[in-house]
């Protein structure tokens, strides 16, 4: 069977412009899925972009640009639309889905993390658009079974229309290079935004600063970066490294060294940074938001901590620093779990089954 032409939306695929999980997954698909011929249509903003008047003007023009793109690429059969569950993204993608429907494309709505992945939408206008998106979709992907149940119960979606498909990562055989007797290396990986719980991270690092030997790696970029680096520079200047945006061998080198991954977010979907960290045997300490509890089994392959609880994170850091055998055990469990349950090859196989189902329905026209 020949390749099927699929339009996929995501932020910029250039890691220098954007480090979102949606962009990471899209890059993986384009580079590794041999069944599909992808046409990438850029949505969202670059990490350094400001939501100013020129940016708003571009967003207003986006549905027209999308229409022209689909007309020019008439071989596209399926629109794979990545939809973050946040106000602006819902409005934007609602218009794109209407355009795709008018052009008789099959629509795969891939829901990602945001404020509403397990919470009701209070804004009536946003809720109407979100319901319209769900109705117009031919198939819906969510990140785990709990989110699927939430969507079915709250939006009356048929079981046959929605598929639970967690994100995936490429797994490298690097865990056994990790030195568990080294000073404790702690990492934050991802977009540097306030909602990622970085104020708690700063508080934690200040609290352990004079108690243990450690090194903190700050990896990523974002609107909160200057605040974080200024605070860390004043408080723990000799114990942290601003690694910037990581990719390729540089990312492997850093993650091989690290022991603990901190992500005390206020809300999430299923962060690719978490899966990547665990794939390198980095023990996660995270809040139980979004789909994170479907990945982390508390005290088995990582740790779940309550929101806004710096003291509990500090306690776990002390515990793992003083119990290196336990650190090694949980690190290896994290690696094995990702290898067994979140492999990219399995993800692509399941996704291609969805594409084939939608492509089969196209032949009925």
pLDDT digits (tens, 9 = 90+) for 210-265: 899 999 999 999 889 999 999 999 988 789 999 999 888 898 899 999 999 999 99
From CA 93, how far away is CA 111, in angstroms rounded?
A: 11
pLDDT band of 350, cuts 50, 70, 90 = very high
Percent helix / strand / coil, the chain, rounded to 5: 50, 20, 30
pLDDT band of 51, cuts 50, 70, 90 = confident
On the question of pLDDT at 139 being above 60, the answer is yes
51-65, 150-164, 321-335: range with lowest mean pLDDT: 51-65
pLDDT of the residue at 363: 47
From CA 173, how far away is CA 157, in angstroms rounded?
A: 40
pLDDT band of 172, cuts 50, 70, 90 = confident
pLDDT of the residue at 52: 78
pLDDT band of 10, cuts 50, 70, 90 = very high
pLDDT band of 20, cuts 50, 70, 90 = confident
pLDDT of the residue at 175: 57
19-23, 91-95, 358-362: range with lowest mean pLDDT: 358-362
On the question of pLDDT at 177 being above 80, the answer is no
The contacts of residue 68 (CB under 8 Å, 6+ apart) are: none
pLDDT band of 267, cuts 50, 70, 90 = confident
For the chain, give the mean pLDDT. 92
> 145-157 pLDDT, tens per residue?
999 999 999 999 9
Q: Would you tell me how many other CB atoms lie within 10 Å of the CB of residue 95?
A: 17
From CA 132, how far away is CA 284, in angstroms rounded?
A: 37
Residue whose token pair is 């690097």: 174
From CA 92, how far away is CA 154, in angstroms rounded?
A: 22
- CATH superfamily for domain 4-168+343-362: Glycogen Phosphorylase B; (3.40.50.2000)
pLDDT band of 365, cuts 50, 70, 90 = very low
**Which CATH fold would you assign to the domain 175-341?**
Rossmann fold (3.40.50)
CB 239 within 8 A of CB 212: no
Separation of first and last alpha carbons in the chain: 20
> 98-132 pLDDT, tens per residue?
999 999 999 999 999 888 877 788 889 999 999 99
On the question of pLDDT at 7 being above 90, the answer is yes
Interior angle at CA 148, CA 113 and CA 268, nearest 5: 20
For 133-201, give the DSSP string.
Answer: HHHH-SEEEESSHHHHHHHHHHH---GGGEEE----B---S-GGG--TTSSEEEEEES---GGGTHHHH
Sheet strands (E) in the chain = 4-10, 36-42, 78-85, 106-114, 139-142, 162-164, 184-189, 214-219, 240-244, 260-263, 283-286, 303-304
CB 273 within 8 A of CB 167: no
pLDDT band of 364, cuts 50, 70, 90 = very low
pLDDT, mean of residues 179-200: 94
pLDDT, mean of residues 23-46: 93
33-37, 70-74, 174-178: range with lowest mean pLDDT: 174-178
Residue whose token pair is 């850029």: 42
pLDDT, mean of residues 176-194: 91
On the question of pLDDT at 204 being above 60, the answer is yes
**pTM for the model:** 0.89
Identify the sign of the CA torsion 131, 26, 87, 54.
Answer: negative
Would you list the domain boundaries of the chain?
A: 4-168+343-362, 175-341
Report the percent of the chain where pLDDT is more than 90. Answer: 78
From CA 76, how far away is CA 71, in angstroms rounded?
A: 9
């Amino acid at each position: 069977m020949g390749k099927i032409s699929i339009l996929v939306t995501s932020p910029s695929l250039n890691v220098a412009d954007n480090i979102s999980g949606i962009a990471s997954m899209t890059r993986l698909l384009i580079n590794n899925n041999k069944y599909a011929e992808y046409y990438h249509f850029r949505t969202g903003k670059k990490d350094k972009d400001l939501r100013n008047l020129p940016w708003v003007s571009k967003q207003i023009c986006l549905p027209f640009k999308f229409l022209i793109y689909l007309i020019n690429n008439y071989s596209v059969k399926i629109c794979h639309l990545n939809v973050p569950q946040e106000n602006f993204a819902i409005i934007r993608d609602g218009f794109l889905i209407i355009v795709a429907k008018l052009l008789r494309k099959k629509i795969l709505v891939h829901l990602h993390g945001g404020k509403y992945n397990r919470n009701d939408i209070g804004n009536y206008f946003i809720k109407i658009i979100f319901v319209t998106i769900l109705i117009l979709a031919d198939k819906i992907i969510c990140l785990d079974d709990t989110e699927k149940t939430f969507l079915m119960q709250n939006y009356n979606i048929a079981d046959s229309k929605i598929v639970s498909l967690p994100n995936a990562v490429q797994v490298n055989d690097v865990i056994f290079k990790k030195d568990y007797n080294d000073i404790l290396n702690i990492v934050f990986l991802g977009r540097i935004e306030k909602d990622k719980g970085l104020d708690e991270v700063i508080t934690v690092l200040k609290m352990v600063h004079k108690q243990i030997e450690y090194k903190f790696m700050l990896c990523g970029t974002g609107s909160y970066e200057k605040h974080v680096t200024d605070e860390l520079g004043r408080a723990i200047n000799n114990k942290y490294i601003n690694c910037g945006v990581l990719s390729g061998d540089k990312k492997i080198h850093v993650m091989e060294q690290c022991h603990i991954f901190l992500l005390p977010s206020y809300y999430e979907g299923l962060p690719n940074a978490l899966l990547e960290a665990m794939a390198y045997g980095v023990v996660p300490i995270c809040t139980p938001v979004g789909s994170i509890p479907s990945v982390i089994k508390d005290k088995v392959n990582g740790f779940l901590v309550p929101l806004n609880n710096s003291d509990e994170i500090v306690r776990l850091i002390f515990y793992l620093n003083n119990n290196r055998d336990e650190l090694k055990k949980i690190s290896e469990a994290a690696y094995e779990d990702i290898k067994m349950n979140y492999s990219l090859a399995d993800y692509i196989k399941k996704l291609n089954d969805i594409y084939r189902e939608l492509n089969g329905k196209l032949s009925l026209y």
